[in-house]
Structure 1
Amino acid sequence: MSTIEVTDRTRLRRGPKRASYDRETIYRILDEALVCHIGASMHGGPAVQPNFHWRIGDELYVHGSSRNGLFQSILAGESACITVTLLDGLVFARSAFHHSANFRSVMLYGKGRRVEDPVEKRQALDSMLEKFSPGRSAEARPPNETEMKATAVIAFPIEEVSAKIRSGGPVDDAEDLDWPAWSGVRPLITTLGDLIPD
């Protein structure tokens, strides 16, 4: 893997010690997270939508309705900002001011590429199902022509991107260390539950 070049948009100015430009670290966060938020200009104003995402190589993929207004703006040339966050814990400090959270996040900037080749598009959608559950793309009925036309798949290069990570306990001021309030971390863990048959 490699270190990603820092740009003016990806350079962390607040908490720069929490920044990571390591491609492997960024890919691990993107691969673990299930939901991203896509922001872009739409109809002259900002818009943000949640979406499933998945990664193939050095590109991040999203999909949705071909009539989705935000997707139409991106495909017309608007730059997008895509964010992903994994919340790992709530950090309790002795002072109200120093309460925080442990997290791993990624912010990506870029222009989207419409995936038009039918073979690449089908492989991309199969990869999305594989993220849901390995082997699922072979089990489910494949999309028909109408469904493929109704679905837009957009790929973003993972190039202008950075991660920000916070871990560990609270950072209290020295004068607060004797304050009689509990301090520490309450971990947050996302788990997949048992399957519920239809």
Structure 2
Amino acid sequence: METDRRIRRLSERQTFDRAELHRLLDEQLVGHLAATHHGAPIVVPMAFARVGDAVLLHGSTGGGFALRAAAERTPVAFAVTSLDAIVVARSLYDHSMNYRSAMIYGVLEEVADEASALDLLSEKLLPGRKAEVRENTRKELAATRVLRLALDDVVMKMRAAGAGEAEDDGEDHSTWAGIVPLAQSWGDPVASVLTPAGTPVPDSVRALKTATAYPPRL
């Protein structure tokens, strides 16, 4: 029986725009995987990357609950959220947030070519870094698992608007109202203790510094 994924509260905020979904997933680096483990709910943060019409989740052989969910084909949910702005209104009740959120439902699949999948994840998290470091060892590859979750069953909700107001709303319009956009950027790189003094900062790291990690969405 097909599940009804329609949003009922503030249903006008639900969007079926695939481009909006892809933009959200391409901008964010971490999502939260929800599953059932030994009869109890569990939610864990996981790095991910969108590749086509699926997301790849970065895990390890020690993360048994995700692997068990994949092996047993247990349904899971994966949530990704971006807070884009605080909405400042003329009453506390009317304050809000501008946001984009997506919930992906499905069954996890193990990836056959994990080495290539890891390369894709690396390129999402730190573009260009693979060319600057050594290859993964067999032991490292054996300890890592990449799981795939198709974007076949997704619910996305978003708000991208200002404070609710009208000329005849009875509020004191001399009280400030508006939005405060949120933007996050990378800080200055800090070398490790064992990195020799004067070692140049690699191109991949310098590129992060010059880019906005999470640009504001007005």
- In structure 1, distance between residues paired with 2:35 and 2:15: 24
- In structure 2, distance between residues paired with 1:181 and 1:73: 54
Q: Give the counterpart of 2:96 among 97, 100, 103.
A: 100
Residue of structure 2 in register with 1:85 after alignment: 81
CA distances 1:84-134 after superposition (whole Å, capped 9, x unpaired): 11111111111111111001111100100011x3xx211110111111232
After TM superposition, list the pairs within 5 Å mapping 1:56-67 onto structure 2: 56-67=51-62
Aligned residue type for 1:46: P
CA distances 1:48-105 after superposition (whole Å, capped 9, x unpaired): 0011110111110111121213313322222111111111111111111111100111
Q: What is the total number of aligned residue pairs between the two structures?
A: 189
1:72 aligns with 2:64: no
After TM superposition, list the pairs within 5 Å mapping 1:29-178 onto structure 2: 29-75=24-70, 76-115=72-111, 117=112, 120-172=113-165, 175-178=169-172
TM-score normalised by structure 1 residue count: 0.87
- In structure 1, distance between residues paired with 2:76 and 2:190: 36
Q: Is the 8 A contact 1:38 1:82 kept in 2?
A: yes
Q: Is the 8 A contact 2:58 2:121 kept in 1?
A: no
Q: How far 1:166 moved relative to its partner?
A: 0.5
- In structure 2, distance between residues paired with 1:9 and 1:137: 42
Q: How far 1:161 moved relative to its partner?
A: 0.6
CA distances 1:124-163 after superposition (whole Å, capped 9, x unpaired): 1011111123221222222211111111110011110122
Return the structure number with greater relative CO, CA threshold 8 A, min gap 6: 1
Residue of structure 2 in register with 1:4 after alignment: none
Identify unmatched segments of 5+ residues in structure 1: 1-6
Q: Is the 8 A contact 1:41 1:73 kept in 2?
A: no
Change in Cα spacing, 1:9 to 1:60, as seen in structure 2 (3 Å) is farther
Q: Is the 8 A contact 1:19 1:164 kept in 2?
A: yes
- In structure 2, distance between residues paired with 1:54 and 1:121: 13
- In structure 2, distance between residues paired with 1:99 and 1:136: 41
Structure number with greater Rg is 2
Percent of pairs identical after alignment?
37
**SS in structure 1 at match of 2:93:** coil
